[in-house]
Amino acid sequence: MKKPDNHILVIFGASGDLTFRKLIPAVYDLHKQELLPEKFAVVGASRTDLSDEKFREKMKDGIKKFANYKEDNEQVVNDFLKKISYISVDTEKKEDFQKLKNHLLKLDNDLGTDGNVIYYLSTPPSLYGVIPCLLGEAGLNNNENGSWKKLIVEKPFGYDLESALELNKKLSKYFKEDQIYRIDHYLGKETVQNILVTRFSNGVFEPLWNRNYVHHVEITSVENIGIENRGGYYDSSGALRDMVQNHLLQLTGLISMEPPSSFDSNAIRNEIVKVFQSFRPFNGRDIQKYSIRGQYTSTTIKGEKVPGYREEKGVEKESRTESYVAMKLFIDNWRWGGVPFYIRTGKRMPTKVTEVVIHFKRTPHFLFSNQNQVNSCNQLILRIQPDEGVLLKVGMKVPGQGFNIQNVNLDFHYSDLSNAYLPTAYERLLHDCMIGDSTLYQRADAVEAAWKFVDPILKAWKNDHNIPVYGYPAGTWGPEKADEMIEGKNMTWRYPCKNLEGDGIYCEL
């Protein structure tokens, strides 16, 4: 793989959980694979008052717990930690950014990093518009004398369309669009990237990838945990903002995009934007007809009492914030006209799973229509997590007399590649930013197009109290009302569950 240019990585919010659990372990794994430049340093920056030694001790603990190479001996880790330093920066003090500038200039002179810097905003969203402004005012944003500056921004990219437009305006004041990397860790998963390979490298799939052969597409991303200790944040956000607007619409874009003119980052992102612009907008009654929201209610699972959403810490007692969303959307273009896309996400489901299911149409004349066990269409299942892989469901003849048919699985698991190294999402995305590949990062126009689609739903749910919030017992697959969405006789959602039989770790409930 390509080695990046020499540079310094500055992480704002470095004392937080994301840096400890994900970012520094990912950087360490890149170091172990010799994918970092020869001249490289990490600078942690946040309000917390820490010495270099204390910060390194904390990051060492994170590496030992969360890195792929966490079994390394002390000396190997200690050698890496020499690349890390820390500086206390208060965003309310402009002089602190001059202090940061001096720190970076000294590091650059000592190491010879050619003036190249990546700024990572691992901070609360309220600072996304503040820190870039302070960097710009301190002159830390400019590409000068052949050097480059890049800015990585974590989701959420706004709270609604208006705030997304405002954030993009603030970011673009001091950073050009090609300097801005909006990170969505879902797109860093190996199986998400494999969607493009499955589609565009296999002649058997691409000719069928359209309205003529696909009955419907189903995208699921659910978790078996609740909102944990994030009640204050989650109750002001909800599943639609937290999952649908970014992760699931991005998956929809990758699944349904046209073949790009090349595998260039702009060519791919251009096609994703076209998909977002082709979403049929929700108007009036469509919102209640094509979208369902729900909240998990208290129940007992395996003898343990599980609280309902409104009983969670930090959640309003009369909250109408959704912990579950199911949605039917249409892409009004030549390829997908009339094909429904079903999206769902939720907390307190029976298992944790993210998958895409392509449901192909039945054969025009089904000779075995009396066979109940194959009274379903072929399915191509792209499993994103857990147990990443690809599964194709086909009908096969049972040995013996007659034509007894049984559904079987043509199955591949990434875990079967015993010698293959699977990088973490942050590992892949950080390296992509370092080498200047923005393919898996969101562009401003894509963010705005996604919010334009979601915004009417958010406003209707907020203002129209006639739109119900359906309850569903914790540990179930959501409101029964969601099953009425699926078009077609005997059609329903696919219900995967953890099991060591059936589809590897899946079974059909």
Q: Of 285, 503, 480, which Cα lies nearest the Cα of 388?
A: 503
DSSP 329-371: EEB-STTTTT-EEEEEEESS-SS-EEEEEEEEPPPSS-TTTT-
Can you tell me the distance from the alpha carbon of 136 to that of 406, in angstroms, rounded to the nearest whole number?
64
User: Which residues are CB-contacts of 467 (< 8 A; sequence separation ≥ 6)?
Assistant: 287, 288, 293, 460, 461
Contact 18, 122 (CB under 8 A): yes
Chain-centroid distance, C-alpha 303 = 33
Per DSSP, the residues of 144-211 read -TT--EEEEEESP--SSHHHHHHHHHHHHHHS-GGGEEEE-GGGGSHHHHHHHHHHHS-TTTGGGSST
Is residue 436 within 8 A of residue 181, CB to CB? The reply is: no
Helices (H), 14-120: 17-18, 24-32, 52-66, 74-81, 94-111
* Separation CA 38–CA 8 (nearest Å): 11
- For residue 386, cis peptide bond before it (omega within 30 degrees of 0): yes
Rounded to 5°, angle at Cα 153 from 151 and 159: 145
Task: Tell me how crowded residue 200 is: count the other CB atoms within 10 A of its CB.
Answer: 15
Of 185, 215, 216, 247, catalytic? 247
Return the number of other C-beta atoms located less than 10 Å from residue 1's C-beta.
Answer: 10
CA dihedral (426, 432, 434, 435) in degrees, to 10, reads 160
Numbers of helices and strands, H then E, in the chain: 15, 17
Active site residue 247: yes
Phi and psi at residue 38, to the nearest 5°: -65, -40
Cα 204–chain centre separation: 28
Q: What is the DSSP letter of 509?
A: -
CA distances in angstroms from 434 to 8, 81, 121, listed in the order given? 10, 19, 15
Six token digits for residue 240: 């639609």
Active site residues: 247
